[in-house]
Amino acid sequence: MSEAPLAAIRSLPSWLLGRAAARGRSLVADALAAEGVKMWSHVVLSAVRDLAPVAQADLGRAVGLDPKDLVGVLNDLQSAGLVVREPDPNDRRKNAVSLTASGERLLDRCEKAAREANDALLAPLTAAEQDRFTALLVKISGTER
């Protein structure tokens, strides 16, 4: 056999993107773990900061997390003093979630760690290549910035 094993598979853009994504997730997860934070906690903290005060149901939809899983993440974040759940000012039957000052400080550290991990992921590329690569990822992912 003259070809490397799985050469056809390894040349597919979808396979390469999957490998790059896995490497990126690993780098970010390790960086967040150094702050004592899991990936979903980081996502939820970031969404709470951007949307607060936000109803739990709206938060779950915004991040794409099952309500049962979201409750677990929020319980952990609240126990750590990072978020508060209070009656929603627009609907007292619902809980609204906001960051605490500690949550804000931790999120700042996590965002810095995640940026550094992404910088490490993209380090083999020039600055222009990084910009182009990111623009292409946005284009093929169907997301907007």
* Domain spans of the chain, in order of start: 9-141
CATH class of 9-141: mainly alpha
pLDDT one-digit tens code per residue, 104-134: 999 999 999 999 999 999 999 999 999 999 9
Residue written as token pair 């990111």: 134
Helix (H/G/I), strand (E/B), else coil: 126 = coil
So what's the pLDDT on residue 30?
98
Contact 129, 82 (CB under 8 A): no
Q: What is the pLDDT of residue 100?
A: 98
pLDDT exceeding 70 applies to what percent of the chain?
Answer: 97
pTM of the model: 0.86
Residue for token pair 């967040």? 32
Is it the case that residue 55 has pLDDT exceeding 70? yes
The pLDDT-based confidence of 89 (bands split at 50, 70, 90) is: confident
Exposure string over 86-113, b if 16+ CB within 10 A, otherwise e: eebeeeeeebbbbbeeebeebbeebeeb
- Quote the CA–CA distance of 84 and 97 in Å, as a whole number: 6
- Across the chain, what does the average pLDDT equal? 93
Q: Sorting pLDDT into bands at 50, 70 and 90, what band is 3? A: low
Mean pLDDT of 92-100: 90
Determine what percent of the chain falls in helix, strand and coil, rounding each to the nearest 5.
65, 10, 20
Helix or strand holding residue 141 (H, E)? helix 127-141
